[in-house]
Structure 1
Amino acid sequence: MADLATSPYFLLILLIAAFALPLVYLVWIRNSVRSGREPWSTVLKAFSWGAVLSVIIALVLSLVFILILNQIGPLNDFFARRFADPTTAIGVLVVAPIVEEAAKGVGATAGRPQTQSKADGLVYGAAAGLGFSAMENLFYALAALFVTGVGPSGSLVVVGVRSFSSSFLHASSTAVFGYGLAKAWLTKRPWAILPFYFVAVGMHATFNFFSTLALTYSDQNNIVGEALAFVAAVTFAIVAFSIVRLRLASGRRAPQ
């Protein structure tokens, strides 16, 4: 691993690692449909929009929301009584779910021209979510390189852990939102997206809550609590992802 740390190709390795499993999941989701599969060009477009456009939107809006929410005294007091770092807790439990799901929804709109059924929205939502998760994997891995005691090997571990947890969450939550987007497009009722957006935000917040709980227990050296919270987060994400796949596999869709 020492050789890997000094290799000029390590960043390329990190990039490939960050995107590898999300792309595998993308194939898995797209091919879950028995007939009338979405064209690869549009699926990859949604993935790319999620990885670039959605990430940029999320970064900008997150900064704005955090600055605004930090000025709300009662909210900060509420989180200060429950978390050692209330600003981070607000960012993770409130800002991230609201902002990131909206931003990933923008990425999912890349599939609108090809959307002929509500199930199509599941595919494009998942694609945007997976693109977002891949870029997020890369950001977290790069950040880990600058943490004392983590280094290159630790950054690869970060990618691995996130690929088997956060990637599933991003795919499934935005698939739900994508379903709502497709329903809104097909029925010409823009407000139809709202229930699905709220569900996506709730899913995201639930996953982040378990993840935050795991970190809190880790700081308290509570190994059992940390393990249980982490397993709960991963299980939640995997189950949600599996439900999306089953919905796609069981749906009847007209060939395109």
Structure 2
Amino acid sequence: MNADQVTGTLLLLIAAFVPSLAVLFWLRWGVRGKKERWDDLILTFIGGAVVAVIIATILELIAAELLYSTVVREYQLFVREPTILTFLAIIVVAPFIEEFAKVLVVRNFSRYIWRPRNGLIFGAACGLGFAATENFLYESTVLFEEGLIAFLVLAFVRSISSSLMHAASTSVSGYGVARAKSYGVHWWPYYLIAVLMHASFNLFASLGEFFSGELGAATSVYGLVISVALVVVAFLYLRWRISGYNA
């Protein structure tokens, strides 16, 4: 590995992981009362970044094998084959699989959860870890194939869009896990809400790729603006709930 590759890898790690960790710090900083332990949150973050990504990748490869002759990651499908089947894979298959992988990690760390609010922040930690690894995968391709400027733009956009989406959606399923532990209710309705949030984001983010021919080139911009607006609102609501005593 030469010096340029080392520099590029370090840049990717910083761009992918530092924003997610900064968001996690901001969420915990806003907690009133007893705060979650950093070591527990970081373990959950790593679980999302590693374990959930591995589970999601395996399941998505299986799904891709069933749907396509060429096995590729979910985020590559649309570029290679922009069909209705691909569109449904991104809107339906990916959200179900990725939210399932993340909620499994949150359930595994549920021993650290002692009240519903904990589920919100531990879910967000898992989602941010997942987003960091996903961003690394996306951004590495752009950096080495399209250059620094395109990479910086993508890194910024993903930091305020998909990273916040993963945090917000998994916080909902984490809240369900916490309520299941505290009150004996089912967690899966909250998981389905997380899937719906994820699917909505993917839908608007993919509008330009699929409908630009029918609706015009501006469709990509409209879709991006709507998707970012949705996740920012959801994330700010999450921050507001976490900042309360009785979330």
Q: TM-score, normalised by structure 1?
A: 0.84
- Residues 64-84 of structure 1, C-alpha deviations (whole Å, 9 max, x = no match): 22333569xxxxxxxxxxx94
Q: 1:90 to 1:70 in 2, by over 3 A?
A: farther
Q: 1:7 to 1:103 in 2, by over 3 A?
A: closer
User: Quick check: 102-111 or 238-247, which moved more?
Assistant: 102-111
Q: Is the 8 A contact 1:66 1:95 kept in 2?
A: no
Does the alignment pair 1:194 with 2:188?
yes
Match of 2:73 in 1: none
Report which of the two structures shows the higher radius of gyration computed on alpha carbons: 1
Match of 1:239 in 2: 233
Shift of 1:110: 4.8
Separation of aligned partners in 2, 1:209 and 1:193: 25
Separation of aligned partners in 2, 1:158 and 1:9: 18
User: Quick check: 200-209 or 14-23, which moved more?
Assistant: 14-23
Match of 1:12 in 2: 10
One-letter amino acid matched to 1:18: A
Aligned residue among 161, 165, 176 for 2:161: 165
Match of 1:27 in 2: 25
One-letter amino acid matched to 2:135: N
Separation of aligned partners in 2, 1:225 and 1:167: 22
C-alpha RMSD of the superposition: 2.2
Q: Is the 8 A contact 1:14 1:156 kept in 2?
A: no
Separation of aligned partners in 2, 1:86 and 1:34: 46
- The 5 A counterparts of 1:72-87 are 84-87=82-85
Q: Is the 8 A contact 2:173 2:190 kept in 1?
A: yes
Separation of aligned partners in 1, 2:129 and 2:119: 15
- The 5 A counterparts of 1:1-256 are 6=4, 8-69=6-67, 84-145=82-143, 147=145, 150-189=146-185, 192-218=186-212, 222-252=216-246
| Unmatched runs of 5 consecutive residues or more in structure 1 | 72-82
Shift of 1:185: 1.6
- Residues 82-126 of structure 1, C-alpha deviations (whole Å, 9 max, x = no match): x94234313211111000001111222353122111111001000
Separation of aligned partners in 1, 2:158 and 2:86: 19
Q: Is the 8 A contact 1:108 1:127 kept in 2?
A: no
Shift of 1:224: 2.8
Q: Is the 8 A contact 2:123 2:167 kept in 1?
A: yes
Shift of 1:217: 4.6
One-letter amino acid matched to 1:129: G
Query: What is the percentage of aligned positions where both structures have the same residue?
Result: 38
Match of 1:80 in 2: none
Separation of aligned partners in 2, 1:210 and 1:218: 12
Q: Any idea what SS the aligned residue of 2:55 has?
A: helix
One-letter amino acid matched to 2:231: A
Q: Is the 8 A contact 2:201 2:230 kept in 1?
A: yes
Shift of 1:221: 8.6
Shift of 1:234: 0.2
Separation of aligned partners in 2, 1:110 and 1:84: 36
